[in-house]
Chains A and B, each alone.
Chain A
Amino acid sequence: MDRFVFLLSTGLARGAVLALFALSLVIVWRAARAVNFAQAAMAAVAVYAAFAVTAASGSYWLGLACGLATGALLGAAVERGLMRRLPHRTPLPGMIGAIGLVMVLQAGLAIAFGPEHRPMRAPFSERPFVIGGVPVLSPYDLFVLATAAAVMGALALLFTKTSLGLRLRAAAFAPETSRLLGVRVPRMVTVGWTLSVATAALAALLSVPTELGLSPHAADLLFVDAFAVAVVGGLDSPLGALAAGIGVGMLSGLVTGYVSASAAPLAVLALLTVVLLLRPGGLFAAGEARKA
């Protein structure tokens, strides 16, 4: 039982980060109908920026802020400079463009900072609290959970309660109708990319200190799991990203603890397969629209 609680609680923190990264994929999917295969490499660039600023200034928080800003700017720049210029009739040019971008960014990072893993320190202790003899979440885990919850809450408010959010949603669902209502749809797509990559950068920033350290590939595994999470939840559904993120995080935690770490990705793949067979649109896919 103690072991179960411990594994669940570590899975929870990992799940929150997964949910955040998956949410970033959902945001860009809704804004541009594109899966951004460069999300991990772009997030890694932002983490390097944070790392460099923290190293130079000695402040984790300044680094965090710069990392988020880098992610946001990079998102806007990639949308304006690359994605917008590709043909949109099929998804293929966007995918190939993104994969090319991954190669350029990761090679660029390796040239600039070297290919080795650099340790990144967490701003809080990673030693778990022990409650009744059971090790549970660490102070850093709590920080991750609180940050992820706050950011997801803020994004939910932005999308559902503000007029920018209304424009973002309308432009994603019905671009032509939105233009007829005066919404500057191309600008909304840029805003979507900006929000998305900043969110992905935050998820990567939160996860790197708990992993092997910073490298150009530091966010790759996170992306793979988060992509599975986004598909399981339904690419269109922010709520799906949250629920599936927590679910997959806990599932991997339990499988890692009771079976082995190498079985965890298989468990995630098995879950993905089952969901795709039973509900191809994802668990939280929207229902059918009224036809008459």
Chain B
Amino acid sequence: MSTLAFCDLTVGYGDGAPVLDGLSLEVPDGAVVALLGANGAGKTTLLRAVCGLVPARGGRVLLGGQDLTGLSTEDRVRRGLALVPEGRSVVAELTVEENLRLGALWRHRGPARTRAVAAAYELFEPLARRRASAGHTLSGGERQMLALARALVADPAVLLLDEPSLGLAPIVVAHLLGVLRDTAERTGLTVLLAEQNVTGALSVADRGVVLSLGEAVADRPAAELAADPALRHAYLGF
């Protein structure tokens, strides 16, 4: 069971007003949920708080019923959580191969590790050709592929993605989202996908949640959300 839930999550920076104030949400086992919202809505803050990178002022984070609150980021990851962070999270000084092995280290040993890395290359052909290249020589698309592949290599139970399509060519975005959808269908991976690319995100998600100024203002099936012009207009600006 890998349901991700958070209840009454309150998060802020410094002494400022909270960015998220008592937010609750459940991402059921095997669901793909799109987290939508304009710039500054609090998507990144939410994902980082779930991973423990930003301390929560209150509330709880549960993974498959287990309370993650109070655990360090690395321990949350070792319980099955994975985050593909915003921007270029590839370790620029390491090669593609080393980035992938790093992702697999805590999860797999010996031959299983080699197999997991090989599977990642199968998923993302372009990475196989660049396995010995340093991270800083990759294109934006290759980096995002590597970041996703590196998260998947540890077989997480729940995958969080923070705007994976940001700044990428449409064809690359289509490929990434395609792999994401196939993987989720094949493995039953639970996914929370933060995006401003509403059309792309809703095309792979079962459900969409709209975040505005730290509050969940809509929570509907993806198809319904995509077809509702009033809602789109009010919260998503198109």
Residues of A at under 8 Å CB distance from B?
163, 166-167, 169-170, 173-174, 176-185, 286, 289-290, 292
Q: In the assembled complex, how far is the CB of residue B148 from the closest CB belonging to chain A, in whole angstroms?
A: 13
Question: Which of B77, B85, B92, B138 meets A182, CB within 8 Å?
Answer: B77
Q: A173-B91, A176-B53 are in contact. Are A166 and B74 (CB under 8 A)?
A: no
Among all A-B residue pairs, the 6 with the closest Cβ atoms: A182-B106, A289-B136, A182-B77, A179-B73, A174-B91, A173-B93
Check if B102 sits within 8 Å of A170, measured CB to CB: yes
Q: A173-B92, A290-B136 are in contact. Are A180 and B105 (CB under 8 A)?
A: no
Check if B85 sits within 8 Å of A183, measured CB to CB: no
Residue-wise interface mask of B (83-103) relative to A, using a CB-CB cutoff of 8 A (1 in contact, 0 not): 101000111111000100111
Q: A177-B91, A182-B106, A290-B137 are in contact. Are A166 and B101 (CB under 8 A)?
A: yes
For this complex, 20 residue pairs linking A to B, each with C-beta atoms less than 8 Å apart, are A167-B102, A170-B98, A173-B92, A173-B94, A174-B89, A174-B93, A176-B53, A177-B90, A178-B91, A178-B102, A179-B77, A180-B53, A180-B82, A182-B74, A182-B78, A182-B106, A183-B74, A183-B102, A183-B106, A290-B138
Does B150 sit within 8 A of A, measured CB to CB?
A: yes
Does B181 sit within 8 A of A, measured CB to CB?
A: no
Residue from A163, A177, A179, A290 whose CB has the most chain B CB atoms within 10 Å: A177
Q: How far is the CA of A174 from the CA of B51 in the complex (A)?
A: 16
Residues of B at under 8 Å CB distance from A?
51, 53, 72-74, 77-78, 82-83, 85, 89-94, 98, 101-103, 105-107, 136-138, 140, 150, 154
Q: In the assembled complex, how far is the CB of residue A177 from the closest CB belonging to chain B, in whole angstroms?
A: 5
Residue from A176, A181, A184 whose CB has the most chain B CB atoms within 10 Å: A181
Check if A181 sits within 8 Å of B106, measured CB to CB: yes
Check if A292 sits within 8 Å of B140, measured CB to CB: yes
A167 cross-chain contacts in B, Cβ below 8 A? 102, 105
Check if A163 sits within 8 Å of B101, measured CB to CB: yes
Chain B, residue nearest A287 (CB): B136
A182 cross-chain contacts in B, Cβ below 8 A? 74, 77-78, 105-107, 154
Q: In the assembled complex, how far is the CB of residue B141 from the closest CB belonging to chain A, in whole angstroms?
A: 11
Check if B92 sits within 8 Å of A183, measured CB to CB: no
Q: How far is the CA of A178 from the CA of B77 in the complex (A)?
A: 11
Check if B105 sits within 8 Å of A163, measured CB to CB: yes
Q: How far is the CA of A286 from the CA of B134 in the complex (A)?
A: 12
Q: In the assembled complex, how far is the CB of residue B188 from the closest CB belonging to chain A, in whole angstroms?
A: 21
Check if B77 sits within 8 Å of A181, measured CB to CB: yes
Check if B93 sits within 8 Å of A180, measured CB to CB: no
Q: In the assembled complex, how far is the CB of residue A29 from the closest CB belonging to chain B, in whole angstroms?
A: 14
A-side interface mostly: helix
Check if B51 sits within 8 Å of A181, measured CB to CB: no
B150 cross-chain contacts in A, Cβ below 8 A? 181
B90 cross-chain contacts in A, Cβ below 8 A? 177
Chain B, residue nearest A286 (CB): B93
Check if A177 sits within 8 Å of B89, measured CB to CB: yes
B53 cross-chain contacts in A, Cβ below 8 A? 176, 179-180
Residue from B85, B101, B102 whose CB has the most chain A CB atoms within 10 Å: B102
Q: How far is the CA of A267 from the CA of B68 in the complex (A)?
A: 58
Check if A289 sits within 8 Å of B92, measured CB to CB: yes
A180 cross-chain contacts in B, Cβ below 8 A? 51, 53, 73, 77, 82-83, 85, 89
Q: In the assembled complex, how far is the CB of residue B116 from the closest CB belonging to chain A, in whole angstroms?
A: 13
Q: How far is the CA of A43 from the CA of B139 in the complex (A)?
A: 45
A sample of 17 more A-B contacts (CB under 8 A), given A180-B77, A180-B83, is A166-B98, A166-B105, A170-B102, A173-B94, A174-B89, A174-B91, A174-B92, A174-B93, A176-B53, A176-B85, A177-B91, A180-B73, A181-B103, A181-B105, A181-B150, A182-B77, A290-B137
Check if A169 sits within 8 Å of B93, measured CB to CB: yes
B103 cross-chain contacts in A, Cβ below 8 A? 181
B102 cross-chain contacts in A, Cβ below 8 A? 166-167, 170, 178, 181, 183
Chain B, residue nearest A172 (CB): B93
A286 cross-chain contacts in B, Cβ below 8 A? 93
B78 cross-chain contacts in A, Cβ below 8 A? 182
Q: In the assembled complex, how far is the CB of residue B94 from the closest CB belonging to chain A, in whole angstroms?
A: 6
B136 cross-chain contacts in A, Cβ below 8 A? 289-290
Q: In the assembled complex, how far is the CB of residue B52 from the closest CB belonging to chain A, in whole angstroms?
A: 9
Q: How far is the CA of A131 from the CA of B220 in the complex (A)?
A: 87
Chain A, residue nearest B85 (CB): A180
Check if A183 sits within 8 Å of B93, measured CB to CB: no
Q: How far is the CA of A174 from the CA of B98 in the complex (A)?
A: 13
Q: How far is the CA of A170 from the CA of B98 in the complex (A)?
A: 9
Q: In the assembled complex, how far is the CB of residue A284 from the closest CB belonging to chain B, in whole angstroms?
A: 14
Q: How far is the CA of A160 from the CA of B222 in the complex (A)?
A: 46
Question: Which of A169, A177, A178, A185 meets B85, CB within 8 Å?
Answer: A177
Q: In the assembled complex, how far is the CB of residue B90 from the closest CB belonging to chain A, in whole angstroms?
A: 8
Chain A, residue nearest B103 (CB): A181
